[in-house]
Structure 1
């Protein structure tokens, strides 16, 4: 496990040192670049030495068997990436909604909707190589687009993670998020205005549908 401390101001660094001393599998590093989720994730990607890369931000939660179940699904179905369903929770841990995973996600599927929550995604870096996130809005979405150019992603229908919805987070600004998505379609993928607008309309519809899905 590779952990990057993003210039924390609490006891995180002290606790990491204790954990690293008790478990040699845990490696921690300081984010020496400008403070941001992108730089922190990229630092951990750079330092990682395992076959698989998955992401967990400090305010999110993984199911205890998340990695086991997803790696098993990848091996059994000959995929090199996987994602899962997950809960959206408030800052007190209360479930807001359930985001159900698509059983199989392709590169083109991602044009109309971000089907891979970054906290659920995992890919085989030994086979595909490492993918770094760009310092742009929706950096995780753009990264998964590049990954899915090389492999489809197999979905685990069981919810295997919980994503904390913070009112202070940048992604909470829906107008900014929509603009970021369009810019990726237009500038990063290189779609023309007509196709970008077409897929963007689908994205907006699917985003509204996802946010209003109630927990069963």
Structure 2
């Protein structure tokens, strides 16, 4: 009998994209899953779209928060209601390739890995590939401090090894904070070296995003991890250099399934 995978999806005003995300889950060759969507008080038709899917597939569940609380709290709400051995993450604007779960769960079971991630592609609003992310084969706590190489849409952890682990309730960098907490208890997280997910880039200008990302990362070191200024500057310098390398892999425009 296949181990159950609980797919954790936060949603907020995602009416334009959530159907594509859910469809990518329905297309999985690994069928032992439940999709737990926690809506963060959307004001559009996101929940109505999800309910249409629920009427067709009982593996999909919808929970709602009374107020807008952020993606981390929405994800934690889904984790609390999860029944699966494996916890996987997929945001409502991202997608998986059909064999993502099948290959990744086998990778974890064959090697007894507690936390894994994969390579992935970046796409724009219309689905053109804008970049490819190839993270390192493995990462430990100290290396992850220098760069969050684990794409949230690719991450899976095993509750049989770790128990249920929740995201810190911070507005930004909740995923990185979670991986760091897990890596305090295990030696490495491991990468399955295949492009098995599609990450949809945001709508804001690239220059605006860069400034916000850098400010958020500095704040994460200083206020969440409580690093002093010298230690923050040390890891922040690595973060900037690796971010430039990470986002420098570009491909010519093509469709996601080419």
Scaled by the length of structure 2, the TM-score of the pair is 0.76
1:55-81 CA distance string (max 9 Å, x none): 111111111121221121112222101
Quote how far apart the aligned CAs of 1:25 are.
1.8
Quote how far apart the aligned CAs of 1:96 are.
0.7
Question: 1:98 aligns to what?
Answer: 132
Show structure 1 runs of 5+ residues with no match: none
Question: 1:37 aligns to what?
Answer: 71
Question: 2:247 aligns to what?
Answer: 211
Quote how far apart the aligned CAs of 1:43 are.
1.7
2:171 to 126, 136, 157: 136
Task: Judge conservation of contact 1:182–1:196 (CA < 8 Å) in 2.
Answer: yes
Question: 1:188 aligns to what?
Answer: 224
Scaled by the length of structure 1, the TM-score of the pair is 0.90
Quote how far apart the aligned CAs of 1:156 are.
1.0
Q: Matches of residues 47-196 of structure 1 in structure 2 within 5 Å?
A: 47-128=81-162, 129-151=164-186, 152-168=188-204, 173-196=209-232
Show structure 2 runs of 5+ residues with no match: 1-34, 253-258
1:13-42 CA distance string (max 9 Å, x none): 233223223322221111223253223222
Partners of 2:170 and 2:98 lie apart in 1 by 30
Task: Judge conservation of contact 1:133–1:143 (CA < 8 Å) in 2.
Answer: yes
1:20 to 54, 76, 92: 54
Question: 2:26 aligns to what?
Answer: none
Q: 1:110 to 1:172 in 2, by over 3 A?
A: farther
Partners of 2:121 and 2:208 lie apart in 1 by 16
Q: Secondary structure at the match of 1:155?
A: strand
Q: Secondary structure at the match of 2:153?
A: coil
Partners of 2:63 and 2:207 lie apart in 1 by 26
Q: Secondary structure at the match of 1:22?
A: coil
May I ask how many residue pairs the two structures share in their alignment? 216
Quote how far apart the aligned CAs of 1:91 are.
0.8
Task: Judge conservation of contact 1:138–1:177 (CA < 8 Å) in 2.
Answer: no
Give the RMSD, CA atoms, in angstroms: 2.2
1:113-163 CA distance string (max 9 Å, x none): 111011111111233122224223222211211122122211011111111
